[in-house]
């Protein structure tokens, strides 16, 4: 909690320096905190699969669409929708963008596609490595737990703090 509060306060202060600084902070946070960890989740899941480790997704849950039943399904659906919130806020910068009629819709479609891809493949990678019991027991399970299991399995546990720092930057 302290780390996230310090990071949040620092980023807030940096945002007071103007739109250019805010853009740099957002870009660094996106690359180090979201894109890099997601690419690593996907890479680690592919390595896990190719090295004949057991896939943790139960046979009855394998399919293209997740089963969204009960309160758990509602929570998953709400989480997916929340990933898209905030995309529309950037429209306030329409006067600063050349060709806003085409640039803004393109940027929103591109952003939504990236978020959807990150969510699908990131979740699939985590589900491939972490057993369902672990995911059910701890709703906060995410990339860090998946990284821990993968890195410890491959004797690379010393990389965990680096990946944790990247995830904190993304927060």
pLDDT computed for residue 61 by the predictor: 57
Answer whether residue 152 shows pLDDT above 70.
Answer: yes
3-class secondary structure per residue, 93-115: HHHHCCCHHHHHHHHHHHHHHHH
In this prediction the pTM is 0.65
Q: How far is the CA of 126 from the CAs of 3, 7, 48, 71, 101, in angstroms?
A: 24, 26, 11, 21, 38
Q: What is the pLDDT of residues 14-34, one digit of tens each?
A: 888 888 888 888 888 888 887
pLDDT computed for residue 149 by the predictor: 82
Q: What is the pLDDT of residues 55-70, one digit of tens each?
A: 877 666 556 566 666 6
Q: What is the domain extent for residue 95?
A: 2-170
Measured N-to-C along each axis, helices 100-129 and 143-153 cross at an angle, to the nearest 10 degrees, of 50
- Domain count for the chain, please give it: 1
Q: What angle do CA 34, 1, 25 make, to 5 degrees?
A: 40
Answer whether residue 139 shows pLDDT above 60.
Answer: no
Answer whether residue 132 shows pLDDT above 60.
Answer: yes
């Amino acid at each position: 909690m302290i780390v996230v509060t310090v990071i949040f306060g620092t980023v807030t202060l940096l945002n007071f320096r103007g739109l250019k600084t805010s853009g740099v902070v957002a870009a660094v946070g996106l690359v180090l905190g979201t894109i890099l960890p997601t690419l690593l989740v996907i890479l680690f899941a592919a390595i896990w699969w190719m090295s004949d480790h057991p896939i943790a997704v139960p046979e009855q849950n394998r399919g293209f669409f997740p089963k969204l039943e009960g309160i758990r399904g509602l929570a998953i659906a709400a989480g997916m929708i929340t990933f898209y919130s905030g995309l529309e806020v950037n429209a306030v910068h329409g006067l600063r963008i050349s060709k806003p009629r085409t640039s803004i819709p393109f940027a929103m479609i591109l952003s939504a596609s990236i978020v959807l891809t990150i969510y699908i493949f990131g979740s699939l990678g985590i589900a491939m490595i972490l057993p369902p019991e672990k995911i059910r027991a701890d709703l906060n399970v995410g990339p860090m737990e998946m990284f821990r299991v993968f890195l410890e399995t491959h004797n690379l546990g010393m990389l965990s703090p680096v990946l944790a720092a990247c995830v904190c930057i993304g927060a």
